[in-house]
Chains A and B, each alone.
Chain A
Amino acid sequence: METKNQFESQIEKDIYDLNRLGYAQELYRTIGGFSNFAITFSVISILSGLLFLYGDGQQLAGHWNVWTWGVVCFFQIILALALGEIASIYPLAGGVYKWTELLSNNRSMGTVCGYFSIIGWIACTAGIEFGMGIFLTYYLDLDYKNPWIILGMTGIIILLHSLINIYGIRIVTWFNDFSVNVHIIGVVILVSLLLIFGQKNTASNTFLIIDKLNGSLVAQFAQPLLMSAWTLMAFDAAASVSEESINPSKVVPWGMFYAVVVSAFLGVILLISLNLALPDLNQPVDPEMPLSLYVIRHTTGPTIYKFIMGFILMAQFAAGLSSQTVLIRILYSFSRDDGLPLSKLWRRVSSRYDTPIYSVFLAGTLTFLLSLLTRNLYFITSLSTMGMYLSYVITLGAAIWGHQKIKENFGAFYLGKFGTSIRLISFTWALFIVGFIIFLSFVKTERLLWF
Chain B
Amino acid sequence: MHQDKESSLVFSNDMISDAQNIVITNRVAEDFLQNQYLKKNLDIKSLWVLGVGTIMAGPFIGWNRGLGEAGPLVVLLALIILSLYYFVFFLITSKLSVLFPYIGGPYAYVRQGLGAFWAYWAGVLTCFEFIGGTAVVLAVFRNYLTFINSEYSTLLYVGIFTLLLINLQFFSARIMTFVHYCITCCALGVLIIFFLGTYETVQSTNLFIATSFSWQGILYALPFVSLFFLGLENITMTAEEVRYPERSMPYGLYIGFLTAVVISFSIWYFAVGSVNWQLLKTSEFPLLFTLAHVQSEDRVLLSIFTVMGSVGFIAALQGFINGYSRQVYALSRGGYFPSFLSKLHPTRKSYYYAIIIPGAISLALPYLVSLDLLIVGAFYSAVCVHLLVIISFIIIRNSEPEFFYSYKRISYTCLLYLTVVILMSILFGLVDNYLFQNWKIIVFILTIFSLNYFIWGVKNIRHEAPEEAAAALKMRRNRIRFLK
Contact = CB atoms under 8 A, between A and B. Distances in A.
Interface of A: 193, 197, 299-304, 306-307, 310
Contacts of B192: 307, 310
A-B CB proximity, top 9 nearest: A303-B197, A301-B300, A303-B301, A301-B298, A306-B196, A197-B300, A307-B193, A303-B196, A300-B300
Contacts of A301: 298-301
A304 B300 contact: yes
Interface string B34-48: 000000000000000
Contacts of A303: 193, 196-197, 295, 298, 301
Interface in B297-354: 298-301, 303-304
B135 to A, nearest CB: 32
B217 interface: no
B290 to A, nearest CB: 13
B68 interface: no
B189 interface: yes
Contacts of B193: 303-304, 307
Nearest to B298: A301
Interface of B: 189, 192-193, 196-197, 295, 298-301, 303-304
Contacts of A302: 298
Nearest to B198: A303
27 contacts: A193-B300, A193-B304, A197-B300, A197-B303, A299-B300, A300-B300, A301-B298, A301-B299, A301-B300, A301-B301, A302-B298, A303-B193, A303-B196, A303-B197, A303-B295, A303-B298, A303-B301, A304-B193, A304-B300, A304-B301, A304-B304, A306-B196, A307-B189, A307-B192, A307-B193, A307-B196, A310-B192
Nearest to A181: B185
A306 B197 CA distance: 9
Contacts of B189: 307
Contacts, number: 27
B189 to A, nearest CB: 7
B184 to A, nearest CB: 14
A163 B154 CA distance: 54
Contacts of B197: 303
Contacts of B301: 301, 303-304
Nearest to A197: B300
A302 B196 CA distance: 9
A236 B299 CA distance: 44
Q: Is the interface of A mostly helix, strand, loop or mixed?
A: helix
B250 to A, nearest CB: 22
B287 to A, nearest CB: 13
Contacts of A299: 300
A417 to B, nearest CB: 43
Contacts of A306: 196
A93 B304 CA distance: 46
Contacts of B298: 301-303
A301 to B, nearest CB: 4
B121 to A, nearest CB: 44
A193 B300 CA distance: 9
Contacts of B295: 303
A192 B295 CA distance: 22
Nearest to A306: B196
A300 to B, nearest CB: 5
B83 to A, nearest CB: 27
Contacts of A304: 193, 300-301, 304
A304 B192 CA distance: 10
B3 to A, nearest CB: 16
A337 to B, nearest CB: 42
A310 B193 CA distance: 11
A234 to B, nearest CB: 29
A391 B299 CA distance: 50
Most buried by A among B193, B196, B295, B303: B196
Residue in B189, B197, B295, B304 whose Cβ sees the most chain A Cβ within 10 Å = B304
A301 B193 CA distance: 12
Contacts of A300: 300
A300 B298 CA distance: 9
A358 to B, nearest CB: 37
A310 B188 CA distance: 14
A307 B305 CA distance: 12
Contacts of B196: 303, 306-307
A69 B318 CA distance: 43
Given A304-B300, A307-B189, 10 more contacts: A197-B300, A197-B303, A300-B300, A301-B298, A301-B301, A302-B298, A303-B193, A303-B301, A304-B304, A307-B192
B130 to A, nearest CB: 31
A302 B197 CA distance: 9
A300 B299 CA distance: 9
Contacts of B300: 193, 197, 299-301, 304
B49 to A, nearest CB: 15
A41 B184 CA distance: 26
A138 to B, nearest CB: 16
Nearest to B297: A301
A343 to B, nearest CB: 43
Nearest to B185: A185
A299 B301 CA distance: 11
Nearest to A189: B189
A300 B295 CA distance: 13
A300 B300 CA distance: 6
Contacts of A307: 189, 192-193, 196
Nearest to A185: B185
Nearest to B291: A303
A306 B298 CA distance: 13
A153 to B, nearest CB: 20
B310 to A, nearest CB: 16
A300 B189 CA distance: 16
Nearest to B295: A303
Contacts of A310: 192
A393 B194 CA distance: 51
A310 B303 CA distance: 20
A301 B298 CA distance: 7
A313 to B, nearest CB: 13
A302 B301 CA distance: 9
A299, A301, A310 pick with most chain B CB within 10 angstroms = A301
Contacts of A193: 300, 304
A306 B301 CA distance: 11
A310 B197 CA distance: 14
Contacts of B304: 193, 304
Nearest to A192: B304
A333 to B, nearest CB: 35
A18 B348 CA distance: 44
A392 to B, nearest CB: 39
Nearest to B197: A303
B61 to A, nearest CB: 22
A304 B303 CA distance: 11
Contacts of B303: 197
A235 B300 CA distance: 37
A3 B181 CA distance: 29
B102 to A, nearest CB: 29
A105 B449 CA distance: 85
Nearest to B304: A304
Nearest to B307: A196
B296 to A, nearest CB: 12
A396 to B, nearest CB: 42
A306 B192 CA distance: 10
A304 B196 CA distance: 8
A271 B299 CA distance: 24
A310 B295 CA distance: 20
B2 to A, nearest CB: 21
A221 B407 CA distance: 72
A307 B301 CA distance: 10
A249 B196 CA distance: 47
A194 B419 CA distance: 51
B201 to A, nearest CB: 11
Contacts of A197: 300, 303
B16 to A, nearest CB: 27
